[in-house]
Amino acid sequence: MPSPPPRRRAAFCCPAFSAAVFIGYNSGATARTVCVCPKWSEGNHGLERFHTMSIAEEPAKTETPELKVVSDATCTFCGCVCDDMELTVEGNRITKAKNACVLGKAWFFNHHIENEPEATVDGQPSTYDVAIERAADILYSATYPVTYGLSDTTCEAQRKAVAITDWIGGCLDTTTSVCHGPSGMAFQGVGEVTCSLGEIKHRADFLLYWGGNPAESHPRHFTRYSLMPKGRHVPRGRKDRTAVLIDVRKTKSAKAVDIFLQLKPRSDFELAWALRGLIRGIEIDPSIEQKTGIPLETLTDLAERMKQARFGAILFGMGVTMTRGKHLNSEAVLSLARDLNKYTRWVAKPMRGHGNVTGADNVVSWSTGYPFGVNLARGYPRFNPGEYTTSDLLARGEADAALIIASDPMSNFSQPARDHLAKIPVVVLDPKRSDTARAAAVHFTTATYGINTPGTVYRMDDIPIPLRPAFDSPYRSDLEILTAIEKRIREKQFAAAGVTSD
């Protein structure tokens, strides 16, 4: 009797997917699949009972997926980089993520092994070897290449990307240039009074959140690091802390704080300088209310409270850095924290978004002296945001090739930048078929950092944290692919110079 065709299952479906039973009866890249869902009978699952969807090969029916628990794993979804995850892994899926927040769970549950080719070249499935050769050709031949992304990969891979960019004399930029780049510039201008999140947990009795919404962007920041936890010098946790939120709109985070100050959009700079003046005892004109929307009496009271704190922390987000004033806003906020140290202890920390964006800043800084937007064409680093940052450089139509690592500029850059990116050969490393990957000359499907590969990432407070992978991937890591590309580029350069690489 012939053996039955392999059973297939849906890679994604409706919100009730986990409760559904799928009976596959087709083969190929997509299949029509019957969704036998318990919610059918409840009538709230919509009338559409047949879903066309991409499908992934299910393990052989007789195989029992290996079950294991990975303790102290690290979530790399946001800059909190929580390293207390307890992951239950069944085969090549994570089925439980104890301690993860809602964003962390989405991260862990949506990364599994997909049925993708290991690489594509000009849109066609390819092998790693062919794709590495083509990628090395593109980057070696380019006269003004740019390397971009890097915030969602390990420090080891970031380091390799810096080396490649140095060998080919390109521009090196990270996603910092479109989030906390202004803070990176401000650090160089006025410095940073800083500390670890551990110090904030154990010491901070005054928290000033500014231009961010941690309740939704960094869900465990409040509970694990700043607002709620009991610390050595704040033994009653939340009860020992005063929390203030300054933002242009009332977000969910406003409910968690004691004082919410609604700021008029684009007036962060004026507010920071008014607070600096008040803290120094300088008289501020009452018209500050007209400018910022916050009465002078309220600001005077806030300045006094800040001076009386034992240990205060300003935690500022992209609401400060990506509005009018940009790096001048960050400078003003960092200077405010510095000024307060004349009276008591204050720090200021940016709330970083992507998992290892802080690692990207560290690696690029320790390698070149600058955190992002660095040009290496002359054999030494030059830093000039606006000129060497990828979105600007592409929008001006300057780069003639791009190496994009774990980022999707095609879905978030300006139209002129995307138009130019579509015209030049692009090499992409990404576990997913993103918009950028689909448009790329070469796309490498990679293993997901933290879930499939070990390495190091930096938490938003510049603390390095090791990764404990949950399960193996058939795909190579960013580090392995970048190492191979670097090797081929060097071989080409040595051959062109008439010397052997030995």
Binding residues vs ligand SF4 (CB under 6 A): 75, 77-78, 80-82, 100-101, 103-104, 218-220
Residues with Cβ within 8 Å of residue 256, at least 6 apart in sequence: 215, 222, 227, 243, 245
Looking at the Cβ atoms of 9 and 111, the one nearer to ligand SF4 is 111
- Give residue 178's Cα distance to chain centre: 11
CB of 92 to ligand SF4, least distance (A): 20
Checking phi first, is residue 46 left (phi over 0); if not, alpha (psi -120 to 50) or beta?
left
Alpha helices in 226-317, H assignment, sequence order: 268-279, 288-292, 296-308
CB of 352 to ligand SF4, least distance (A): 11
Looking at the Cβ atoms of 101 and 113, the one nearer to ligand SF4 is 101
Cα atoms in the Cβ-side hemisphere of radius 13 Å centred on 4: 9
Looking at the Cβ atoms of 255 and 396, the one nearer to ligand SF4 is 255
Looking at the Cβ atoms of 101 and 272, the one nearer to ligand SF4 is 101
Query: Is residue 23 packed enough to be buried (19+ CB in 10 Å), middle (13-18) or exposed (0-12)?
Result: exposed
Looking at the Cβ atoms of 182 and 450, the one nearer to ligand SF4 is 450
CB of 63 to ligand SF4, least distance (A): 30
Task: Name the nearest CA neighbour of 330 among 177, 185, 175, 173.
Answer: 185
Looking at the Cβ atoms of 60 and 102, the one nearer to ligand SF4 is 102
Distance CA 398, CA 303 (A): 47
Distance CA 470, CA 87 (A): 7
CB of 86 to ligand SF4, least distance (A): 12
Phi, psi (rounded to 5 degrees) for 427: -110, 125
CB of 21 to ligand SF4, least distance (A): 30
The H-or-E segment that residue 71 falls in is strand 67-73
Please report where in the chains the tokens 């200021």 appear, as a residue. Answer: 348
CB of 77 to ligand SF4, least distance (A): 4
CB of 356 to ligand SF4, least distance (A): 11
CA distances (Å), origin 386, targets 65, 183, 309, 406: 51, 14, 39, 22
Looking at the Cβ atoms of 82 and 357, the one nearer to ligand SF4 is 82
